[in-house]
Amino acid sequence: MFGDRGNRSKGSFDAAFGPVIIGTHGEERKAAPVQSFEHVGILAHPLRTGTAPIAQAVAQALQAKGIETWVRTAWDASRAQPLIEGSDLVIAIGGDGAMLRAARLCAPANVPTLGINAGHLGFLTEVSPDDWEESLDMVLAGDYWIEQRMMLRCEIRRADVLFGHSDALNDVVISRGAVVRSIRLDAHIDGGWATTYHGDGLIIATPTGSTAYALAAGGPILPPELRNILVVPVAPHLTMDRPMVLAQGATVQVVVDPHTATEVVLTVDGELIASLESSDHVTIRASDHVSRFVRLRDRNYFYRSLLDRLEPRVPDPVTRAAVPKQADSSSPPRTSRL
């Protein structure tokens, strides 16, 4: 349930919500009415000009219902974090990149995120820019559920000194830099050496990230409710070339092999975090934080949404049955054979 974030004056609109019911797939659904939204934040993609008008329109709609609202169309973590910590809900407008950034900011404060798609694929978004008003009314009426997704905690150590850390919703990637030369990475799982990867890099992904870079590198697709870590090598050469799905609760430690002479970089959800040096240690485990997404679709939405993006649109069985079959005039009629 959305936490009480201090004493606030209620707006004229009192959209009520109830206690949380945890489902079998990590989702929550509201029941009896007890609480209303009071503070809602809106984060619009700073580089997509079409998101700012949507953000302003959403803000006006919320304010008309008596809900206190803040909007950021050019934002960074240091400025947005204090606002998020005082919010009940954050609406992110953009593509999956905007959702990833918003989720990483919202997770420590346990604030759910609703995504309005203004990007390309929109795996993580929930609402179309054409019907956001109807969708927003559904959310305010409590007609939604909360999906929880695992995140990763990444810590970087140099000479046993922690010098960088971050949470990831999609993946942590350790890879070569601009020079096209393979790197060597020693991988340890749960404290024991597993293998040394020789290639372009290594992807350590969540189930959410299994449909991103990991999928392009040949990894499997994992349902988002799982809590397993996925390890996928990138362009491996004469080394372990199969992806691995680790047990829930596993810890991965990657050490830059001393024989690696080329540049090695570490990215989190596509953002450059650090340049690594020989013998640097990177430890990845499940984060204490989880991302929480507001969902309006059915709980089994993931598979249909995924296949809609990965395959040419195939009509569902009901639609196919309703379309009468037409004979192909270019083909001769079939004749029965004994």
Burial tier of 243 (Cβ tally within 10 Å: 0-12, 13-18, 19+):
middle
State if pTM tops 0.85: no
What CA–CA distance (Å, rounded) separates 2 from 96?
24
Under 8 Å between Cβ of 127 and 313 = no
Beta bridge partners of 286: 152
Contact partners, residue 54, CB within 8 Å, separation at least 6: 44, 93, 116, 118, 129, 132
Beta strands 39-44; 171-176: pairing state: unpaired
Question: For the chain, what is the radius of gyration of the CA atoms?
Answer: 23
- 126 SS3 class: coil
Q: pLDDT tens digits, the chain, 338 residues: what are they?
A: 333 444 333 333 333 333 333 344 454 554 433 346 789 999 998 888 889 999 999 999 999 999 999 999 877 788 888 999 999 999 999 999 999 999 999 999 999 999 999 987 788 999 999 999 999 999 999 999 999 999 999 999 999 999 999 999 999 999 999 899 999 999 999 999 999 999 999 999 999 999 999 999 999 999 999 999 999 999 999 999 999 999 999 999 999 999 888 999 999 999 999 999 999 999 999 999 999 999 999 999 999 888 887 776 666 676 666 666 555 444 444 443 33
Closest C-alpha to 51, from 42, 62, 60, 40: 42
Q: What pLDDT, on the 0 to 100 scale, is given for residue 141?
A: 92
* Amino acid identity, position 136: L
Residue found by looking up tokens 């040394």 in the block: 196
Q: What pLDDT, on the 0 to 100 scale, is given for residue 18?
A: 35
- 216 SS3 class: helix
What CA–CA distance (Å, rounded) separates 313 from 318?
14
Residues noted as catalytic? 96
Q: What pLDDT, on the 0 to 100 scale, is given for residue 315?
A: 67
Under 8 Å between Cβ of 21 and 1 = no
Q: What pLDDT, on the 0 to 100 scale, is given for residue 281?
A: 97
User: What domains can be seen in the chain, in order of their start residue?
Assistant: 16-144+296-310 (3.40.50.10330), 151-288 (2.60.200.30)
